[in-house]
Amino acid sequence: MTLELQFKIKNNPMYQNYLRENSYWYKILNRTPEQFKEFENKAKERYQVRTTDKINKILNAFEMVNSIVSSLK
């Protein structure tokens, strides 16, 4: 694993946790550091920090508030 890649992982707790939970990524990143983008996408997908996940959370919250207000009528 390249030193730059190690710094990226060490500086981001989300990457560290994902790497600990999915240790097979150590081997992948050691052999092909170009796969870091895929690793990053998988970690974001796992912890739901993608833009689409954030939008879905906002929509779900809005729907919940809407259903509460409609039930109070």
Asked if pLDDT for residue 50 goes beyond 90, the answer is no
Q: Which residues are within 8 A (CB) of 1 and not within 5 positions of it... i.e. 6 or more apart?
A: 26, 29, 30, 33
CA distance 36 to 70: 46
4 or 52: which leads in pLDDT: 4
**Structural domain tally of the chain?**
1
Domain that holds residue 60: 3-72
Biggest alpha carbon distance in the chain? 61
Q: Span 57-63, mean pLDDT?
A: 91
pLDDT above 90: percentage of residues in the chain = 75
Asked if pLDDT for residue 54 goes beyond 90, the answer is no
**pLDDT grade for 13, boundaries at 50, 70 and 90:** very high
